[in-house]
Amino acid sequence: MARRTLSLMLNTHGRPFCRGALPWAVLCLGILGIGFREFRATVSAQEWESSIRAFEREDKVHPVPPGGIVFTGSSSIAYWSSLVEDMKPLAVINRGFGGSEYTDVNHYADRIVIDYHPAAVVVYAGDNDLASPGRKSAQSVAQDVQQFVQIVHAKLPQTWIFVLSIKPSIARWNVWPEMKQANQLIHDFLRTQDHAAFIDVASPMLDQRGRLSNDLFVADGLHPSAKCYALWTSLVKPILLERFASSRSQLFSPQERPKAADAAAPAH
C-alpha cells in the first residue's frame, strides 16, 4: 500500500513539479549570472559597516564643515596617518577604510563622500580589486570608477573628483600588468568627464628600469612607507592647491584660509 501511494505521488506530482521547476531553475541561473557580481559586492561592502559607523560617531563629536576635501578608498588612504598635516593648508579628512575595493567605496559613497558636501574628493582603490588574478578584470575596475563618478556627480555635480592611479607594489608585482591596463582605462574615461581628473602616483614610484625601491613600502611590501606618502604628497598637493588657489571656502584650514587679497593674487 505504501509503495502504491508513493508511486501515485510521483506520478501525479513529480512530473508537474519537474516541469514547473525547470523555468524557475533557468530564471535563478539567469539572475545569478547577471547579478552575482552586484550581490557579491553588496555582501562584501557590509563587512565595512562598523568602520563607516565609527566615522559617523566621530562626526557627531567633531562635525566636519562642508566644502573641504575628502580622501577615501582602501588601506593606502586609511594608513596615511600624516595626511592632514601633509595637505596643509588644505582642510582634508581621511575616510579610507582598509581592505576595501571600489565596489565598497561605491556602496558607502553617500556616507563617506556625499554627506560631507565636499569641494573635492580624492579616491584610491583598485589595488585589492585586482589582487587575486582572474577575480576582477581591468575593465570591471574601470567600470566601478565610472560608477563612482556617476554616484558623486548625480548629487554633487560641482564636486571635483581626483582618482589616484593604482600603485605597483612588491607584494603584488605579478598583477601589475593588469593594474596598468586598469589605470589606462580609468585615465581615458576621466578625460571625458567634467570636474574629474586622474593623478598618476604610480609612474613616479618606478625607477628608470621600471623597478620599485623597497623603501617605498613597509615590511609587507604592499603598504606605502613614509617615503612613499611624501612622494604622493608632492604629486597630489600641488594639483589641489592649483585647482583651489582662489578659494575662500572651507578648503583651507581656518587658521590658514587665504584672505581676500591673497586669494585674488595669481598663483606662482
Q: Is 22 inside any structural domain?
A: no
Q: What is the mean pLDDT of each run of 10 residues along the chain (268 residues)?
A: 45 45 45 46 69 96 96 98 97 95 97 98 97 90 98 98 98 97 98 98 97 97 98 98 78 54 34
**The cell 617605498 sits on which residue?**
216
Distance CA 104, CA 118 (A): 19
Q: Is 223 inside any structural domain?
A: yes
8 A C-beta contact, residue 204 and residue 224: no
Q: Is 188 inside any structural domain?
A: yes
Q: Is 34 inside any structural domain?
A: no
Q: Which residues, including other chains, have CB under 8 Å from residue 59's CB and lie 6 or more apart?
A: none
**CATH number, position 83:** 3.40.50.1110
**pLDDT at res. 211:** 96
Distance CA 208, CA 221 (A): 20
Q: φ and ψ at 160, to 5 degrees?
A: -80, 140
Q: Is 113 inside any structural domain?
A: yes
- Sign of the torsion angle spanned by Cα atoms 36, 97, 162, 150: positive
Full domain range(s) for residue 102: 46-256
Q: Is 40 inside any structural domain?
A: no
**pLDDT at res. 253:** 61
Q: Is 134 inside any structural domain?
A: yes
Q: Dihedral angle at the C-alpha atoms of 222, 225, 228, 234, nearest 10 degrees?
A: 140
Q: Which of 208, 268, 216 is nearest to 238 (CA)?
A: 268
Q: Which of 91, 95, 97 is nearest to 69 (CA)?
A: 91
Q: Is 18 inside any structural domain?
A: no
What is the tally of structural domains in the chain?
1
Q: Which three cell numbers stand for residue 199?
A: 593623478
DSSP string, 213-261: -GGGB-TTSSSB-HHHHHHHHHHHHHHHHHHTTT--STTB-GGGPPPHH
DSSP string, the chain: -HHHHHHHHIIIIIHHHHHHHHHHHHHHHHHHHHHHHHHHHHHHHGGGHHHHHHHHHHHHHSPPPTTSEEEEESHHHHT-TTHHHHTTTB-EEEEE-TT--HHHHHHTHHHHTGGG--SEEEEE--TTTTSSBTTB-HHHHHHHHHHHHHHHHHH-TTSEEEEEPPPP-STTGGGHHHHHHHHHHHHHHHTTSTTEEEE--SGGGB-TTS-B-GGGB-TTSSSB-HHHHHHHHHHHHHHHHHHTTT--STTB-GGGPPPHHHHHSPP-
